Amino acid sequence: MPGSVPLTTCLSPAVYNMVCLRGFEVQSSADITSLLDKENVVCWGPICDKVSYLSSDMGLDYAESVRKLGPLCDAVHTHLMSLPYEKYQETFHDWFQWTNQCELFLNALNALKSLDGTKISLHLMKMTSCLERSLGDVYLIIGKDCPFLLRDLLTSQELATIFSQPVMDVLRVFLGSPQSLNLRNILWHGFVSPQEIPPKYCSMLLLLTVGLGQLLRSWLTNKEMCLVHRPYFVFSNLQEVPIFPELNEKVLSMADSLIEKSEFVLTPMVPFWIEAITAFRQGRYADCAVLLLPQMETGLRLAFTTVNGCPERMLTAESTSLYTTFDEILSKHLNDGSPNNLPGKLGEPAMEFLWDILNHQEGPRVRDHLSHGEIQLCHFPKHIACELLGFSIVLLHRHLKQDSLNKEDIAVIHPIIDAVGSYQSRYHPISLVQMQVLRCCESLNKWELLPAPSIGHPSETMELQDNVDPELSLYSDIEQILSLLHLQGMTCLSAEDCSTWLQTDKWFVTIRELCGKRISTLYCPRLVLEAVGVLRKISTQCHQVSDNILSTSQQRYEQWQNKTLRSRQRQNYQRLLYSIRSLFAALRLILTIVIVNLHYVHGICGNAHLEYQKYLKYLKSILQYTENMSTCTSPEKNRWDEAIQMTSTIVLKIKTFNETNKVLRRHNIWPMMQRSVNPYPFHWQIISLKRLKPWDFIHINLLSR
């Protein structure tokens, strides 16, 4: 840390003793033949016998178990290192198959023989995550709802039933408890350096994996059952992810230089950073991500402890307290309730990026999926690795000593720095509403391209026109709603926007601009998220209604052209064409209300409970309308008269709410403009329905008097 003695380890004294020293205390040697028989079957008895237990049924004695297992780990490591790769593959290939990542465990021998602590640690991270996933698959043979945490999985009765309790206790010594070696967690959370993981523990995990495969095959054979692997997680919407320009060799060379100069990197962790960039150069994108994520956490933990004045939290916690992980680093408050100063130091765009890539439920959640073995490593996308490495370069740069780079160097990485500085969340619920509104608008824009038939029955057409004429009141209500919103000082809409609102091109441009404006997403209160959730459902249902009408119109037009519509179907099709006029305006009104409410949603937290409930009830009434419309406009229903009636009702309800509502004004959500004007300064210029063809849209222009 700046201004202090450089850290040589992030392991607390007790954890350092457990990982680096305890397994070396017993100097006696073990014979590999006692652990592997002539048929290369793992002998679990001698291994399980080394596990120690506390008195009075208090659980495992992890420290003593590690001490006793140390010589066995030495014997296994010596044996594996003596095997040629071909012999190792021939001997153990079949027993790694149950992991669904056989090549990963076979390639671990090459890492061990390289004597490179970085490569060994990388393989351990991948092996432990893969083991967790595979054990979860085994759990689901007889269990339901696989535990999310590895420690809970290892203590489950389901796995003990299949593998036996003594075998599971052996695994618990190596994985899954803060009191144990806890290899998975100290690696994945970036607490351990390459030099601190004894290679013999990697070798022992290989042997244990072989033994588990043998036990599993025997159990499955006896029960006449089979192991089914869950499908891997696949990243979706990757087009939403890339924010950085291509990381070319100039940028990667600059990253190499930054590692040596940046205070974001602890000296013992430098090999991890170098290997991460090497992996990116070589196209090993999963390896790059696996190496970067723990080091990002370590660097951010260093920044977190520095700005919050808690240097003791840089080390692994003891078993009585929690580690300082991303959850605490990115939180709004510290455990004692005081504010976390890190968000202020990093800035909102950087924090939004971290929340997007790591935390938001609909985001990539890269660390969770990788560390729990949910991703097929060979198919890890380059885009994700590029985003992680690009952001890491920005973090490295931000923690440089002053004047460490010249102008040419800064020019190389400036586009990356600028990309983070302008970043807006893409996976927060607020951002998802913005994107959903845009998609719905694009769907609505297609309405004007709908094909139109020639209707040959004037009397039938006139009857329908007479039925639609009363709906002119709908447009009068929409006029008043827009006037109210404009008078209430909606900063999102200008007077010019209102006057051209229903002109498709200008309306879409206005909505697109609103959807592109930054809305704060960090640490949204529950009330805000509740309202945003309703707004998102509304926009989703609007999109469904639009798609319903597009598909039904296209289908009916083709049937009309082919003369396959019966009399009732022809009348229903004409009702659809007339209904489009009203629905076109109503849906765009609702989408405008959605995006405007989204921009002012943070103001609702100041409302009294009763006022907030009224506001939420108003939004839910709009949601109910869109849900009903989705049903009425579905190909199975086609209830166009009912759709028009519901549309008139909801528009009237929206107008009434905006006329009578004082809550939002009082809390400065839609502040009233204090000026003496006619309360309805605009009017609709409506072209008579009777002068239009049935498939034409009514174009309504909002003009100033």
Q: What is the pLDDT of residues 95-110, one digit of tens each?
A: 999 999 999 999 999 9
* Domain match, 453 and 568 both: yes
d(CA 441, CA 620) in angstroms, rounded, equals 21
**Domain shared by 35 and 147, yes or no:** yes
Q: How far is CA 549 from the centre of its chain?
A: 32
Query: What was the pLDDT predicted at 496?
Result: 53
Strand partners, 339: 333
Report the C-alpha gap between 612 and 529 in whole angstroms: 13
Low-confidence stretches of the chain (pLDDT < 70) are: 1-6, 238-242, 319-321, 403, 454-473, 486-504, 662-705
Check whether residue 256 and residue 217 sit in a common domain.
no
The domain boundary, picked from 193, 223, 253, lies at: 223
- What domain count does the chain have? 3
Q: What is the pLDDT of residue 697?
A: 35
In a domain, 271, yes or no: yes
546/438 Cα distance (integer angstroms): 13
Query: Long-range contacts for 358-362 (Cβ within 8 Å, ≥24 apart)?
Result: 358/326, 358/330, 359/326, 359/330, 360/425, 360/427, 360/428, 362/427, 362/432
Are 198 and 321 found together in one domain?
no
Do 414 and 433 belong together in one domain? Answer: no
pLDDT attached to residue 464: 42
Are 111 and 139 in the same domain?
Answer: yes
Choose the final residue of a domain: 223, 258, 283.
Answer: 223
- Kindly state whether residues 446 and 573 are assigned to the same domain: yes
Q: Is residue 81 part of a domain?
A: yes
Residue 37: per-residue pLDDT: 93
Phi-psi label, residue 26: left if phi above 0, alpha if psi -120 to 50, beta otherwise: beta
The Cα–Cα gap between 247 and 396 comes to 15
Q: What is the DSSP letter of 400?
A: B
On whether both 48 and 28 belong to a single domain, the answer is yes
Task: Indicate if 409 and 433 belong to the same structural domain.
Answer: no
The last residue of a domain, from among 403, 421, 439: 421
Do the domain assignments include residue 401?
yes
411 and 437 inside one domain: no
Nearest to 542 by CA among 433, 637, 459: 433
pTM higher than the cut 0.85: yes
Q: What pLDDT, on the 0 to 100 scale, is given for residue 453?
A: 79
Say if 45 falls within a structural domain.
Answer: yes
State how far the Cα of 141 lies from the Cα of 143, in Å rounded to an integer. 6
Determine, yes or no, domain membership for 2: no
6 within a domain of the structure (yes/no): no
Residue 3, in any domain of the structure? no
- In a domain, residue 7? The reply is no
Which residue range is the domain that position 398 belongs to?
238-421
pLDDT at 694: 33
Query: What integer pLDDT is reported at residue 488 of this predicted model?
Result: 57
Q: Clarify whether residues 384 and 448 are in a common domain.
A: no
* Same domain as 281, residue 167: no
